[in-house]
Chain A
Amino acid sequence: MNIFTPSNIKELFEIRAKHSNAVLLAGGTDLLAQWHNNKSHPQKVISLSGIKNLSFVKEEKNYVEIGALTTHSVIAADRTIKKLLPVLSYAASTIGAPAIRNMGTIGGNIANASPAADLPPALLIYDASLILASQSGNRELKLSEFFRGYKLTALSDNEFIYSVRIPLPPADIYSEFFKIGTRRAQSIAKVSFAGLIKKDKKGIETIRLAAGSVAPVPIRLYETERFLQGRILTRSVISSACDIMLKYLKPISDVRSTEEYRKFALKNLLTRFLNKA
């Protein structure tokens, strides 16, 4: 294995230009396990850990920006994130166990594009975008448009994830993240759910819903949101919202759980969320 260790972004671009098939390695918590399981690894790897200034949390006027190499531990403990984006903070704290959280990064969690990743549902309800950097400049892409299919992303060969930009959520919202893992720690989600809601006298003013492990990618539940928008929550509205949600999701049975259970749990998590809102 050839390992490249750029120490700044300029070097990273140069290496990427020469070795377009090289794999980007951040914390390695997913990739190393994959290589071990497959008993094979890529020929060329670019380790990002030497690049300075890619781990940061910045609070701007309208958004919070988190550098791609920021670890889950940092995100879970960061005061700004805890205050402004509590759902993200909590989601980060549910990942793996301390050792994993100390190594794993937000950029890696997104780029790995696992349907079971813990951060994306939280980021999706905050309407997060990614800053994708390449030699020709940066572009901003909504996270909801980044996932293109099972383990497929919109990242092109010459790009890397520079940061995640999260607009500040509206005031007076209720939001939560709920992860059903295979156990209480060191576990991968069977189902995860994130929701953000703001109600006024006329009904639901803002609603954003997202789920993990129930589709090929972490997914925003747009149809359900559209249905709920402007409505007053009644038992029958909640029940219809659940039906709509399940119509658009196709969870599968796999090594961790069953289709039946995933549907049941998701329905209950949405119901529970709307009841609490």
Chain B
Amino acid sequence: MFRSYKSVAGAVAALVVAAGLSTGALGQSLELKIMAPAAPGGGWDQTARAMQAALTESGAVKSAQVVNVPGAGGTVGLAQFVNAKGDGSQLMVNGFVMVGAILTNKSPVTLEQVTPIARLTAENQAIVVPADSPIKSAKDLAEALKADPAKVTWAGGSAGGTDHIMVGLFAKAIGVDPTKINYVPFSGGGEALAAILGGKVTAGVSGYGEFEGQVKAGKLRLIAIAAEEPVQGIDAPTLKSEGIDLAIVNWRSVVAPPGLSDEQKKALLEAIDKMVKSNQWQETLKAKGWDDAYLAGDDFAAYLKNEQVRVGEVLKSIGLVN
């Protein structure tokens, strides 16, 4: 009985705190609108909503609201977003996937038009095989791929997305023609995971978080992650340590509309900086298993340019973009 009273008190307290914050008793005067260019539930939506909570609770902004504009790898949202020229109270969440989607969808609007603010999070990409697979390591997988690229079936996310790009890069890194890979796209992680668990495909590629539970339960074998350095808490070698020169992370970032004044840009950068350093944000990262990949302002702008070039090259070599 005592326990339930306590949780009621907790609920009430949370509501009171939330109400207090929304009146803007503390913090700055910014009233932000954050666009998640995807349907509720996905990674971008979760990022936007985590930002909303952290921004308001840390008092970095007065209020924040999230708008979902789903469609076409975020390019529908992007096309709407660039119309908010000079509006310093809007942000949009995006990431690696959008870089590819702009190219594959031949989007008339590109990331050149937005004002880069900061990279926020990153997720490690992992390669798994079914637990009873004869493939024990990334080297085995590379050998199989060299022997007959078509026979190695890969399950992952949508065509042209992070997972597909990673498989293309994997082939390239071991000297196999990337156009020959047999990549089977699945919409949504669930279906792909089922296909890997059921042994319908040779290997699966996705964010480590998607596989974690199955790996720990011994139903999937984690053969490698695509990080630069070994990651604490993940019991697998990096591809680089296995002699395969490939590192890729699925990063998510936040951008602002085009045509901002220096002052507007500074205000947004400051708000995001305060958010990233707040306890709330750090707790969210831990809870969701996202890596802190904070990189702000001009450094992020340069990084973004670099990724665009890399992704463009891969998509061409896989044959997805002419």
Same complex for A and B? Answer no
Binding site for A on B (CB under 8 A): none
Binding site for B on A (CB under 8 A): none
